[in-house]
Amino acid sequence: MEDLIKVYTSDTHFINAKRGTKILDIIGELGYKSELKPLGAILNNRLVGLYSKLHTDCTIKLLNYQSKAGADIYRRSLALLLFEAAAQLYPEAKLVIGQSLQNGYYFDFFYRENITEEILQKIKSRMNELIEKDIAIKKIWLTIDEAKSLFLAAGQSEKFKLISRKIAQDIYVVHIDKYFDIHYGATVPSTSYVDIFDLNLYDTGLVLQFPAMSDPQKVPEPKAQPKLFSTYREAKKWDKIIGVSNIAELNELSLSRSISHVIKLAEGLHEKKIAQIADEIKNRERSNIVLISGPSSSGKTTFAKRLGIQLAINGLKTITISMDNYFVEREKTPKHDDGTYDFESPDAIDIGLINEHLERIMNYQPIEIPFFSFKTGSRIKERGRLIQPEKGDVIIMEGIHALNDIMSSRIPQDRKYRIYISALTQLSIDDHNRIFTSDTRFIRRIVRDRLFRGYSAAQTIAQWDSVRRGEEKYIFPNQEKADVMFNSALIYEHAVLKAFAEKFLLEVSPEQEEYQEAQRLLNFLNMFVLVLPEEVPHNSLLREFIGDSSFSYKN
């Protein structure tokens, strides 16, 4: 009798499979019905590739491109394919992964000549040839010494330095043909799985574009994002000033005790940028209503407080208003299709009252700013705040929808100054692997929610997909309306957040659905050398999330 195991696809349905079978070999028996290719799987609440073998009774959920984890697998695999194609054609060139842009990733292309349309098309054609050949994407074990020799010979010193700090004796490496990389997450089984993409020239590099999650069969038309790209470029320049571009370099500075200098530089650059914004507001005399927007955990509240200080230095009196106090009563809050509350929707805000108050402020009339209790889901009248604006006052309103025109439709455009904030880290894992921009905010939120809002890491993880959908739908489309963008990312912050986040993520048990995402974040944080929170200045934006700030965050 064969050695069989049970593979569950639900609480009640299972198939029998031979022990050691690859997931890839039993997809047809698992009842997978989507027209989209499966790209990976959740195996006992762990994210794995389809090449994974099954050794014991288990539960499996197959993933395609319309899941975040499935899309990440696709994008990671497609980037590997790009590196392989570029290395085959231009072995002397250096391709360095950058930020998220135009529904894809931006790459710098360093070569003896600037990248041209001809070079771009050659790389694209080679990628399509490799897809047609259906080359296996393999995951193999190497000893740390073998991996170090491999990456050193390939001129990838940043990978060499990163794995040199590992305690483990072995490491997973992934490769397509002759291109090798550290295995940072599941990949597709072969190149034929990543056949929908596009390449476009952008600035001095190129953008690798992905399919849209809403329509995985095609790549959307690229949209111009000049302000966002300019902010990324500024962050790159800052990183050069600080002298850190990847995790290995940050770790070396942490271990050499130079991290205090890095922190001072990073915080000083923040302060200088805030002061420049305050100067611009001062010089635009009619723009007395400052609107600050940005996605969750981008640091809007602390930025507003620090901007207020810089404006005071410029001789301007400020009144700060949080849009969070204008939420509608809980019973009026819009809902998702599944019946859960959609707190990210603009309709969750009392748009009429905000416009009325801004109009009164503009005419120097008194208003009573409401106080909204998230605990009760209603306003507490006794805790409202009466303000009397005076001529020359600058009103700062911060909230995720502040750049949405409907929130300030009664205010003339020349009276508004718009600021968009996000945490656009330019720190990379290495030259070929980026840090997800949203992960910086995600980890901030996990720490803050656990420390100050009574939410476990599992609860925050469970809510995050909904938050991200709301950002994509309601916030990101408005970012290019900003007069200025502020990058709230701090080059050193992951090394500090690690001190809090690791403990909170370890509280997520293997039985919980959120376990695989918690493990992904733990693996990411494990790359950093810890930096003690005591190093962080008390007026730092990071203090909004880890506590002990010199600012008060009471409404």
Q: Which residues contact 12 (CB under 8 A, 6 or more apart)?
A: none
> How confident is the model at residue 243, as a pLDDT?
86
> How confident is the model at residue 555, as a pLDDT?
60
What residue ranges do the domains of the chain occupy?
A: 4-64, 69-209, 226-546
Q: Which long-range contacts (CB under 8 A, 24 or more apart) does 455-460 make?
A: 456/504, 456/507, 456/508, 457/501, 457/504, 457/505, 457/507, 457/508, 457/514, 457/518, 458/507, 458/508, 458/512, 458/514, 458/518
Q: b vs e for 439-451, b when ≥16 Cβ sit within 10 Å of the residue's Cβ?
A: bbbbbbbbbbbbe
Per residue of the chain (555 residues), what is the pLDDT tens digit? 468 999 999 888 899 999 999 999 999 899 888 899 999 999 999 999 999 999 999 999 999 999 999 999 999 999 999 999 999 999 999 999 998 999 999 999 999 999 999 999 999 999 999 999 999 999 999 999 999 999 999 999 999 999 988 877 899 999 998 899 999 999 999 999 999 999 999 999 999 999 998 899 999 998 888 998 998 888 888 888 888 999 999 999 999 889 999 999 999 999 999 999 999 999 987 778 999 999 999 999 999 999 999 999 999 999 999 999 999 999 999 998 888 889 899 999 999 999 999 999 989 999 999 999 888 899 998 888 999 999 989 999 999 999 999 999 999 999 999 999 999 988 999 999 999 989 999 999 999 999 998 899 999 999 999 999 999 999 999 999 999 999 999 999 999 999 999 999 999 999 999 999 999 999 999 999 999 999 999 999 999 999 999 998 876
- Residue 377, judged by CB atoms within 10 A of its CB (0-12, 13-18, 19+), counts as middle
- Write the pLDDT tens digit of every residue in 363-398: 999 999 999 988 889 999 888 899 999 998 999 999
Q: Cα-flanking dihedrals φ and ψ of residue 135, to 5°?
A: -75, 135
- Write the pLDDT tens digit of every residue in 217-232: 999 998 888 998 998 8
CATH class of residue range 226-546: alpha beta
Strand stretches in 136-178, DSSP E: 137-143, 170-176
Helix, strand, or coil (residue 428): strand
Q: Which two three-digit tokens encode residue 523?
A: 């693996």
Q: Which of 492, 502, 546 is nearest to 525 (CA)?
A: 502
Q: b vs e for 40-73, b when ≥16 Cβ sit within 10 Å of the residue's Cβ?
A: bbbbbbebbbbbbebeeebbbbbbbbebbbbbbb
- Residue 286, judged by CB atoms within 10 A of its CB (0-12, 13-18, 19+), counts as exposed
The CATH homologous superfamily of the domain defined by 69-209: Threonyl-trna Synthetase; Chain A, domain 2 (3.30.980.10)
Helix, strand, coil shares, percent, the chain, to 5 = 45, 20, 35
**In CATH, which of 3.10.20.30, 2.60.40.10, 3.40.50.11540, 2.40.110.10 is domain 4-64?**
3.10.20.30
